[in-house]
Amino acid sequence: MEKFNPESTFESTQEYFDLWLKTYQATLGRLVEMPATGPAREKSEKMMKVFSSLVSLNRAWMESNTDLHMVFMEAMRRVREKKAEGMEGELSPERYKDFYKIWIETYSETFHEFLKSGHFTSDMGRFLSHFIEFQKLNREVLEENYLKPMNLPTKTEIDGINKELYSLRKTVKELTRQVHELSKKS
Amino acid sequence: MNGLKLMGDHEKFKRGMEVFLKHPDFSVGTTPSEIVYIEDKMRLIHYLPTVDTPHPVPVLIVYALVNRYYILDLQPDKSVIKKLLEEGFDVYLIDWGYPAGADRYLTLDDYVNGYINTAVDKVIERSGLDKITLFGVCQGGTLSVMYAALHPEKVKNLVTLVTPVHFDTDKGLLHIWAKSLDVDKIVDYYGIVPGDFLNVGFLLTDPFRTMIDKYVGLFERLECEPGDMECQVRNEETVKNFLRMEKWIFDSPDQAGETFRQFLKDCYQKNLLIKNEMVLGGKRIDLKHITMPLLNVMAEFDHLVPNDASIPLSDAVSSTDKATLVFPTGHIGIFVGSKSQKEVCPRIAAWLKPRSLPDGAKKERAAPGRSRRKEKIPPPRKRK
């Protein structure tokens, strides 16, 4: 798929975000990344990691959004072209269905091209990676600050129990099978 | 004129909403059945035969892990199961249930050499025969292929319906996307991978049709003049059919993490199955060990499992009795489309019937498919 290059008002949003990001990295970002000290350093560092991860997630989100916006613009351009070719004059309610058909087909085709492209695949991979990283850190902070002080089990502890249960089930099944085999022989 | 048209459309929408507001009662999976075995979340379902003497070799259907099995029995007039029963088969099906908790550690080995193997043994035990027909659907077909290669002595016939085995193709979006997924990160975080996570992927394969056009289409189909009660009944049926499908689409079980990890990595990312390099439970899966009769059925316009992903199976196995059927429909249409009832099931049944006698029994007249041919079913002629 050709790189979309429509005139876009979204570019200014992107520029604004880039400017914000640069300023953040030069100021608050440096404070966030700074090693924590004192009795609450572990908790504090984890909290700061969540914040930093949220910024990375926003960055990936903005990049994905920019690409998506460009695809929308391209789809809209194609719809305009097709409408001009096949539907002259005012759009009356009777002809609305024809327009809808053009719209849905054009948008589907244009997005299919994009969804098939390496551009989307890398966007999606990057966004998903940042999203999971953020969720993971967020969960750790939640566990650390709320679950542990209340003596409630954390995900890691539940996973440990589940693993044990899985392994026990497997052992029981294997032993049952062996007993069954032996009873058939005797 | 415009005003009248707008009023007409408004009426159509209003009548559609009236049907929704009545809370239409709809059910799925209504073919009479019994549960004959339960292990963890897995249930082995036996459908009650509808003929006095079913064909001796029973059919065990293995459905995918990613959706619910009742798409094969969505409603009485759209039911692969019912059709197979009417064709005289003794039908069993594995319901995988909804994985949770400890199931996150279940591996592909547990599914194939564990659950499927136990289900096969149970069906064998109940039938009194040595072998059964394994009927794999979608991802369930891939699991069935793995099973048939590892336990060929228990499989008399193998039927695969819209089944991927060759994953290195750029014909389907899922195949393209799966390559760039950081599977470890996903599984390590979620443990049990949410069904909704996968659903987003399925919806994204055609977002405007699956999230907009489908709903517009529903209201387009509701055409009634005020006071036309017969038409209103038809409307209700249309809405119920729609809701059945809607329920199925969004009834997505979560996925056992370790199974998801291995399936994505070994199949979608490394394409090991078709290369005979995949290992389950310490044993390498060699597709050449598949020697039983094979029927490979696919949908020509399948956007989830493109034909390129299914076709190579025929050449990868050692079976000499094998056939391929391609129907002009889509991935879902092959189960619930009108063709499914009229063409897909009868064609599968015709192939399967003469092969559903116990070993050593006198064979019926040879049915189509005793060759390596690939048969494409032509689309029906349009009515003029």
| Per-residue model confidence (pLDDT) at position B32 | 96
The answer as to whether A2 is a domain residue is no
CA A43 to chain B, closest CA, distance in angstroms equals 20
For residue A116, list chain B residues with Cβ-Cβ distance below 8 A. Answer: 170, 173, 176
3-state secondary structure of A88: coil
The encoded tokens of residue A13 equal: 């949003």
Query: What is the pLDDT, as a whole number, of residue A163?
Result: 96
**Is there a single domain that holds both residue A69 and residue A29?**
yes
Same domain assignment for residues A135 and A183: no
At A5, the pLDDT band (50, 70, 90 cuts) reads low
Task: Report which DSSP code applies to B103.
Answer: G
Amino acid A44: pLDDT: 87
Mean pLDDT, range A48-58, rounded to an integer: 92
3-state secondary structure of B295: strand
Is A179 domain-assigned? yes
Q: Chain A partners of B2 at a C-beta cutoff of 8 Å?
A: 92-94
- State whether A77 and A26 are in the same domain: yes
pLDDT at residue B374, as a whole number: 54
Would residue A5 count as lying in a domain? no
For residue B331, the one-letter residue type is H
Q: Which residue in B104, B114, B180 is closest to A121 by CB distance?
A: B180
B208/A100 CB distance under 8 A:
no
CA distances from B339 to B46, B53, B378, B379 (A): 25, 27, 11, 10
The answer to whether residue A70 is domain-embedded is yes
Are A118 and A178 members of one domain? Answer: no
Q: Between A94, A135, A166, which is nearest B189 by CB?
A: A135
Does B178 reach chain A within 8 Å, measured CB to CB?
no
Q: Is B301 on the interface with A (CB under 8 A)?
A: no
Partner residue opposite A163 with nearest CB, options B105, B173, B177:
B105
A130 shares a domain with A169: no
Nearest residue on chain A to B197, judged by CA atoms? A128
Q: Are residues A137 and A159 in the same domain?
A: no
A123 and A134 housed in the same domain: yes
Residue of B nearest to A136 (CA): B189
Q: Do A122 and B180 touch (CB under 8 A)?
A: yes
Instruction: Give the per-residue pLDDT at B361.
Output: 65
Distance between B9 CA and the closest CA of chain A, angstroms: 10
**A115, A129, A133 ranked by CB distance to B173: nearest:** A115
- A158 pLDDT higher than 50: yes
Instruction: Return averaged pLDDT per consecutive 10 residues of chain B, 384 residues in all.
Output: 65 75 85 96 97 96 96 93 96 97 95 97 96 98 98 98 97 93 94 94 93 89 74 85 93 96 98 98 97 97 95 97 96 87 93 90 47 48 38
Helices (H) and strands (E) in chain A, counts: 6, 0
Is the pLDDT score of A13 beyond 50?
yes
Residue A37 in any domain: the answer is yes
Query: What is the domain range of residue A120?
Result: 10-152
Same-domain pairing of A135 and A60? yes
Residue A34 pLDDT greater than 90, yes or no: no
Tokens of B66: 């990613």
> Annotated catalytic residue: which of B138, B224, B267, B345?
B138
User: Residue A1 falls within a domain, yes or no?
Assistant: no
Of the listed ranges A109-113, A140-144, B203-207, B225-229, the one predicted with least confidence: B225-229
Measuring CA to CA, which residue among A83, A78, A84 is closest to residue A114? Answer: A78
Contacts of residue A13, defined as CB under 8 A and 6 or more positions apart, other chains included, come to none
The pLDDT of residue A10: 73
What is the structure's pLDDT at B23? 77
Domains annotated for chain B, with CATH where assigned, are 1-26+195-253 (no CATH), 31-174+255-376 (3.40.50.1820)
Which pLDDT belongs to residue B375? Answer: 56
Count of domains for chain A? 2
Note whether B180 contacts A: Cβ–Cβ < 8 A. yes
Active site residue B224: no
Of A108, A122, A166, the CB nearest to B105: A166
Provide the CB-side half-sphere exposure for B216 (13 A, CA): 12
- Give the list of residues 6+ apart from residue B228 with CB closer than 8 angstroms, or none: none
Does any domain span residue A49?
yes
Minimal CA separation from A91 to chain B, in Å = 11
Query: Which residues of chain A have a CB within 8 Å of the CB of B4?
Result: none
Beta bridge partners of B136: B62, B160
- Is the model more confident about B235 or about A166? A166
Give the Cα separation of B208 and B107 in Å (integer).
Answer: 35
Any domain includes A95: yes
| Chain B, nearest residue to A123 by Cα | B180
Shared-domain flag, residues A108 and A186: no
CA-wise closest residue to B76 among B137, B33, B19, B27: B27
- Chain A contact for B6, CB < 8 A? yes
Q: Which residue has the higher pLDDT, B93 or A48?
A: B93
| Residues from chain B contacting residue A112 (CB–CB below 8 Å) | 173, 206
Average confidence score pLDDT of chain A:
88
A52 and A36 in a single domain? The answer is: yes
pTM: 0.89
Enumerate residues 6+ apart whose C-beta is below 8 A from B157.
B57, B133, B134, B292, B293, B294, B295, B352, B355, B356
Contact A129 B185 (CB under 8 A): yes
Q: pLDDT band at A186, cuts 50/70/90?
A: confident
Q: Is B121 on the interface with A (CB under 8 A)?
A: no
Q: Which two tokens stand for residue B136?
A: 């794999």
Q: Do B216 and A100 touch (CB under 8 A)?
A: yes
- For residues A59 and A145, membership in a common domain is answered with yes
A158 and A106 within one domain: no
